């Protein structure tokens, strides 16, 4: 059991070191990273397409990286915004890691990029434990997923700097209990801002972009209580302007894919293999992959 824990912590420690390097790389370029986490089907790709289009229309240099186990569908959709977009195929890995992201950005990220949106793999478990060098972490949930998502996935929502509700235009039709959802959010992450959005109607999209831009300009993001409870994993993050912004981040030590020392070792090797050989494609300047 000690070996299992040690291997898992070694994976997270390596990721933390890579995230620190990536944060410095992005900070030197004046780029602010926004990490988007949600379940599959939450509507985050549709929302991100609108965000990118409005950023481009407003003169803010923005780019996006989108991660999936397979297909380039999301990159094709996001490229319609006119922003540079890059797809990462994780070859079965259930989350992005900082080292994967940094290697895919080097030599590609356009000079002057102010906002880098990272659409993580659709999953509320694995991605929650991995720092990607982001300034802002956003957890999204749609009205169709049920009001108990925040309490069922407390790490994902508990470490978020912002919570976004999507597909609000159909909330009444599906019987979404808004107050119950907000109670769950307050339970796991007291004080975190919550924005309500609809990609279909455009509700909340401008407010979301404005929130991101304020953080990019140096406004201090919400500090989750959960992060304070895991002092071993606290990080001091620099924002995109190079000003010291207090951004605390924790890893859930209970998160693990393994069931024994041998499986853990195999899983660590699999991480290395997928990290080195994850396939990628890089549409630039709004061109589809």
Question: Residues in the chain with pLDDT < 50?
Answer: 232-269, 272-273, 275-289
Predicted pLDDT at 266: 42
Instruction: Enumerate long-range contacts of 16-21, CB under 8 Å, 24 or more apart.
Output: 16/98, 16/131, 16/233, 16/235, 16/251, 18/97, 18/98, 18/99, 18/102, 18/133, 19/98, 19/130, 19/131, 19/132, 19/133, 19/235, 20/133, 20/235, 21/98, 21/102, 21/133
DSSP annotation of 220: P
CA distance to 7, 13, 49, 108, 208, per residue, from 66 (Å): 28, 24, 11, 14, 19
Report d(CA 72, CA 69) in Å as an integer: 10
Predicted pLDDT at 11: 79
Which pairing describes strands 194-196 and 162-166: parallel, antiparallel, or unpaired? parallel
Predicted pLDDT at 265: 40
Degrees, nearest 5: CA angle 5-266-97 = 70
pLDDT digits (tens, 9 = 90+) for 206-249: 999 999 999 999 999 999 999 877 553 444 444 444 343 444 44
Predicted pLDDT at 259: 36
Predicted pLDDT at 4: 57
Predicted pLDDT at 7: 66
- Measured between its terminal Cα atoms, the distance across the chain in Å is 44
């Amino acid at each position: 059991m000690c070996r299992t824990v040690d291997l898992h912590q070694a994976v997270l420690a390596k990721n933390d070191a890579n995230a620190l390097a990536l944060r410095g790389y992005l900070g030197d370029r004046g780029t602010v990273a926004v990490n988007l986490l949600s379940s599959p089907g939450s509507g985050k790709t549709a929302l991100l397409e609108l965000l990118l289009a409005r950023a481009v229309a407003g003169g803010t240099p923005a780019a996006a990286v989108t991660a999936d186990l397979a297909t380039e569908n999301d990159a094709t959709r996001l490229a319609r915004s006119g922003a540079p977009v890059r797809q990462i195929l994780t070859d079965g890995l259930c989350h992005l890691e900082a080292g994967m992201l940094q290697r895919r950005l080097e030599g590609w990220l356009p000079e002057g990029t102010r906002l880098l949106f990272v659409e993580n793999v659709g999953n509320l478990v694995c991605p929650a434990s991995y720092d990607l060098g982001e300034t802002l972490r956003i957890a999204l949930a749609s009205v169709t997923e049920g009001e108990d998502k925040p309490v069922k996935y407390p790490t994902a929502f508990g470490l978020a700097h912002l919570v976004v509700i999507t597909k609000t235009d159909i909330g009444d039709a599906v019987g979404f209990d808004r107050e119950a959802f907000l109670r769950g959010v307050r339970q796991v992450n007291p004080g975190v801002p919550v924005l309500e959005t609809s990609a279909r109607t455009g509700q909340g999209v401008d407010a979301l972009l404005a929130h991101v831009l304020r953080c990019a300009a140096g406004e201090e993001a919400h500090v989750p209580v959960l992060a304070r409870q895991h002092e071993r994993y606290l990080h001091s993050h620099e924002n995109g302007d190079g000003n010291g912004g207090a951004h605390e981040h924790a890893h859930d030590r209970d998160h693990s894919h393994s069931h024994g020392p041998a499986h853990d070792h195999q899983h660590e090797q699999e991480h290395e293999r997928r990290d080195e050989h994850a396939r990628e494609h890089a549409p630039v300047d709004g061109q589809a992959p």
